[in-house]
Structure 1
Amino acid sequence: MKLLAIETATEACSVAVAVDGEVVERFEIAPRRHAELVLPWADALLAETGLRRRDLDAIAVGRGPGAFTGVRLAISLAQGIALALDRPVVAVSTLATLAMRAPAPAAGPVLAAIDARMGEVYVAAFARDGEGLPQALGPERLGAPGSVPLEDLPWAAAVGSGLAAGEGALAARLRAVAFDPTAMPHAADLARLAAAAWARGEALAPERVEPAYLRDKVALTQAEQRARRG
C-alpha cells in the first residue's frame, strides 16, 4: 500500500511516504515551522518515490496527544488532503509512535512520555507484539510527572521528553533498563503503525478523525500558574 504520514504533535516536524513497506522520511526539530514545512516535504517525498498524490491509498496522521496547535495542524492537513483525494485517514496515537523509538533490545513494557508543559506530561504504556509494534497496555494519561498514574510493570524502557519534565520526576519513579528523554515521534514509525492499522481495517472517513488532546484547557490563569508553582 501507499501512505503519506504526517506527525507534528511535538517540536519535531516529520513527514513520510511508505510504498509497500519501504519508507522515506523528512524529520526536523522545527518549533513553529510545521505549517511551513509539511506540504513542501510531502511533495518532495512523493516526487522522490515517483508517486502522485492520487496514487496514495490513505493518509496517516499522528492524532496526539501533544501540542494543541501541532495536533490540530496535522489533523487539518490530513483531512484536507484525504477529502481532496477521496481517500481515508488512518489516525495513530502519537505516544504509540513515540514508543517505536524504544531501544530494540528492550524486551518488556515501554513507557512513552511527552512533556505537556504547564507542569504536566502525557504518558502511556506499551508492549511489543510479535511484529515488534507497540500495543497499548492502558489508557493515555495526563498528569504531573511526580504523580501521574503508572501501571505497576517491570519497565524495560522509557522514551520521550516527558522524562526530563519536572526535573526528571517521572524518570525517577521508573526502574527502566533504558531511558531516552531526547526521543521524538517520527513519521516513518507512524507510517509503519498506520500500515498495520490499515490491514486491520481501521481506516476512517476524514470527517470521523478526532484529535486526542487529553487536556480541555491549553492555558492557565496567573492564579493557576502560581498555585502550580506552590
Structure 2
Amino acid sequence: MIDGARATGGGEERGVGAAAKGPDRVHIVLVLVVDSSTPAVTAALAEVSDDGFALRARRRIVDAKAHGELLAPAVDAVLGEAGVRSRDLSAIVAGVGPGPFTGLRVGLVTAASMGQALDVPTYGVCSLDAVGQVEGRVLVATDARRREIYWAAYDGGTPLTEPAVDLPAVVAERVAALGVTAAVGEGAHRYADVLGLPVRDEPRYPLADALVALAAERVLAKAPTERLTPLYLRRPDAVAQAARKPVLR
C-alpha cells in the first residue's frame, strides 16, 4: 500500500516511497506515466531511484469523451514542466484497465507508440490496483457503463479478487463475505445506494503515484518490455472484439 496523498494544481505528487532530493541519490531514472482507463486522463513524469520515487509533474483532466484530444497535450505539458525531453525517458508505465474500449486504447496506443519510437521498455499496471492502494479492506469500483462496474477488492493494497465486471447488485453480494468495510472509485460514488458501503471521497481515479509504485521494481530492474494488453473484460460497445491482443508492442 502507498499513501495516496497528492499535491494540487499539477504539482509534485509523492507517495510513502518518495525519495528526498539530495546528492546521495543514485540510479535515477525518468518514467512517463499515463492512464486513460476512466473519465480521468492522467499523465505524469516520475523520478525513480533506489531510494524511492517522486512525481516531478502531473496532469489530470476529467472528460470521458475527449481522451484522444487530451492525452498527448498532457504528456507534452508534464515533460515541459519538468524540463525533460522525451529522449531522456528510461521507461513508460501505463494503466491497462479495465476500462471502456475507446478511452483505454488511447492511453495504451500512446504508451506503446512512444516506447517503440524511443526504444524504451513499457510496463503495464492494472488500473484498479492504482485506486486500491489505500488502508483497510475496500472495494474498488469504476464505471463500466451499461449500468455495470469494473471492480476488485483489496486489503491494504493487496488484491483479494481478480478484476471483474458486474452489475452493482451482484458486486454487493460477492463482497459481503470478504469483510469489505468501504468503497472507493467513481463507480462506488455512482452506485453507492446499491453497493451499501461507506464511500470514501478519494481516490476516485487511478493515482499516478500508485502506478509508479506498482511498476518501480520492474523499472529499476530493467525488466524486459511488456506487451500492453488492454484489460477490457467484455466486448466493446461499438466494435466487435476478437481475443485479447497486445497494443502495438
- Aligned pair 1:218/2:246, yes or no? no
What value does the CA root-mean-square deviation take over the aligned residues? 2.4
| 2:94 counterpart of 1:73 | no
**Aligned partner (choices 132, 141, 159) of residue 113 of structure 1:** 141
- The structure that is helix-richer by fraction is 1
Matches within 5 A, 1:36-47: 36-47=69-80
Residue among 123, 140, 143 paired with 2:166? 143
Q: Does 1:25 align with 2:58?
A: yes
In the comparison of the two structures, how many residue pairs are matched? 204
Please list, as runs of the form range in 1=range in 2, the aligned pairs for 1:55-204 lying within 5 A after superposition: 55-100=88-133, 102=134, 106=135, 108-128=136-156, 134-148=157-171, 149-150=174-175, 152-166=177-191, 168-170=193-195, 172=196, 174=197, 179-180=200-201, 183-199=204-220, 204=225
**In structure 2, C-alpha distance between the alignment counterparts of 1:166 and 1:44, rounded to whole Å:** 34
Task: Check the 8 A contact 2:91/2:115 in 1, yes or no.
Answer: yes
CA distance in structure 2 between the aligned counterparts of 1:201 and 1:112, rounded to whole angstroms: 30
Structure of higher RCO (CA pairs closer than 8 Å, 6+ residues apart) = 1
Asked if 1:11 is matched to 2:30, the reply is: no
Mapped contact 1:17–1:191 kept (Cα < 8 A) = no
Change (3 A) 1:67 1:203: farther
Structure 2: gaps of 5 or more residues: 1-28, 240-249
The range that moved more, 194-203 or 91-100, is: 194-203
Contact 2:94 2:211 in 1 (8 A): yes
Gaps of 5+ in 1: 129-133, 221-230
In the TM superposition, what whole-angstrom CA distance separates every residue of 1:144-194 from its partner, at most 9, and x where no partner exists? 100133372232431012224456312x1x4x5x53387122334322322
In structure 2, what is the Cα distance between the partners aligned to 1:121 and 1:5?
Answer: 24
Q: TM-score, normalised by structure 1?
A: 0.79
Q: Report the secondary structure of 1:179's partner residue.
A: coil
- What fraction of aligned residue pairs are identical, expressed as a percent? 35
Return closer, same or farther for 1:166/1:109 CA change in 2, 3 Å cut-off: closer
Seen in structure 2, the aligned counterparts of structure 1 residues 127 and 192 have a Cα distance that, compared at 3 Å, is same
Matched position secondary structure for 2:73: helix
Offset at residue 202 of structure 1 (A): 5.6
TM-score (norm 2): 0.73
Secondary structure at the aligned position of 1:183 is classed as coil
Q: In the alignment, is the contact (CA less than 8 A) between 1:162 and 1:181 conserved in 2? A: no
| Whole-Å separation in 2 of the counterparts to 1:199 and 1:135 | 21
Contact 1:125 1:151 in 2 (8 A): no
